[in-house]
Every structure is written in structure tokens, then in C-alpha cells.
Amino acid sequence: MDIQQVVQKYVDSKWLGAAQMIEQLQLKEPVSSTDVLNVLNDIAIAQENYLAVNRQLRLKKDARLRWPDARIEDYDFSCETKEVQYLIDKACDASWVDENTHQVIIGASGTGKTTMACAIGNKLIMKGYKIRMWRYNDLAFEFALHEKEGTFQKYLRMLCKYRVLIIDDWVLFSLSNKQRQMLYELIERREQVGSLIITSQYGFDEWHTAIGEPTIADAVLDRIASMSDVIALRGDSKRKSHRAKGGKS
């Protein structure tokens, strides 16, 4: 049996990472038992790396980030307070996800809230977490669509499978009474079983007016505010900075 036959056996078994590793081997005679063990270990590591990379690619595709290539390393923190810089570093650590708490990123339009949410999301994907990003108004549209088709509960169960939901432009658009109820049901169902990253131009004190119904606003606020770190961005508009540089990153 030659090396290509061995490679084909691994390919047939869908051990593609291992097959790539074997194909790169330059076997020499004689081979000691130590060499064999080292080769087997290298093959196992190659397969693990192959599976990890492909899992990350699947998670990233499923996440549907608005800025899929956003990196926290590219964000300029110099204009932010030390407290905000600390909270950003903390958000990039997955411990808050394991505690089922939340991140709320607030700031004026153009301050980089969405980009930062995507960058934090990419950090979580690298750690193996299943996440999904929605714009607030798109999520509300899906609520209405599934309610009309009688599939909202099934849709809700799907959303609850994600370890982290990113909701962008939170309460930027008005909701119908039914949509508000469905939003509350999503937040209530995910309490203590999942985390949120929320971006918004509004602080907690403005949510009541923005959500539009005091009872539901109270219930939503109660389930999020006490369990959240608030990253309040105060920097200049990133869009203005982008234009000032001639549109170059």
C-alpha cells in the first residue's frame, strides 16, 4: 500500500485534515516507534485544526454579521474613557456569555456601535460560540411574518438556539403592539439561557418611550438592564473620519 492509498482512505472517512497532513509526509526507512507516535500525533492535530477552522467558517456564515471582517484590533479606543476601554476588553472575553449576561453598546449615530458589535461577535465565534445578528426592524418584520403564518413559536425556538443574539439599532423603529409582545417573549424565553449584544442610540432611561408601551418596556428593561455592561461610546462619528481620509480605511 502506498501513501496515496492511505490518503484516499482518510478522504473516504472524511478525515480531510489528516489526509492533507499525510500527503505532506516524507516517510523515511526505518521508522522508529517514537517517530510513528509523533506522526500520529501530528495527524491528530492536523485533523483537529481542520475541523476547528471549518467550524469557525460555518459559525461565521451563520452569524450574518453586517461587518463580517470587523476586528477589535482595528478599533481606535484613544477617544474613549479608561472605563469604556476596560469594558470593551471584558466584552471580548467569553466569561459574560457563560454567565448569561449582556452587552449594551450605546452612542450617537456613526460612533462605531455596529462595527464594535461585529468585532466582539467575531471574538466569540473564534471561541466556538453560536451567534446571530439581526437589525431591530428586520427582527420585528420576521416577528410579524411568522405570526401571520402561525410559525412564531417555531421561529422563537430557532432563535433560542443561538448562544448570543446581536440586535442592532435597538428600539430605533416603532413596533406594533403584537410585535412588542413578541419581543418581550423572546427576551423572556432567553433569560438565564442566552446572552445579548444590543446596539442603540438610546440609553436605558429612554427605552420606555422608544418601546412605546410602559408595561412591556418595564418587563424588557428589568430583564436586560440589571444584567448588562453598558459600553457608552463618546467618540466622533467614524463616518466623518472615514470621509476625511478620502474613504480609505
Do 24 and 117 belong to one domain?
A: no
- Of 13, 44, 62, the residue at which a domain comes to its end is 62
Look up residue 205 and give its DSSP letter.
G
Q: Are residues 136 and 100 in the same domain?
A: yes
* CB 193 within 8 Å of CB 162: no
172 and 94 inside one domain = yes
pLDDT per position in the chain (249 positions), as tens?
Answer: 566 776 776 777 677 777 777 677 655 555 565 665 577 667 767 777 888 888 999 999 999 999 999 999 988 878 888 999 999 999 999 899 999 999 999 999 889 999 999 999 999 999 999 999 999 999 999 999 999 999 999 999 999 999 999 999 998 888 888 888 999 999 999 988 899 999 999 888 888 888 888 888 889 899 999 899 999 998 655 544 434 444 444
Indicate whether 96 and 15 sit together in one domain. no
Quick check: is 17 in a domain? yes
Claim to verify: residue 106 and residue 218 sit in the same structural domain = yes
In sequence order, what are the residues at sequence separation of 6 or more whose Cβ sits closer than 8 angstroms to the Cβ of residue 133? 63, 64, 65, 66, 117, 118, 121, 165, 166, 167, 168
Distance CA 233, CA 241 (A): 15
Are both 112 and 18 inside the same structural domain?
Answer: no
Range of the domain at 163: 64-244
The answer on 86 and 53 residing in a single domain is no
* Shared-domain flag, residues 167 and 220: yes
Q: What is the domain count for the chain?
A: 2
Residues 159 and 112 in one domain: yes
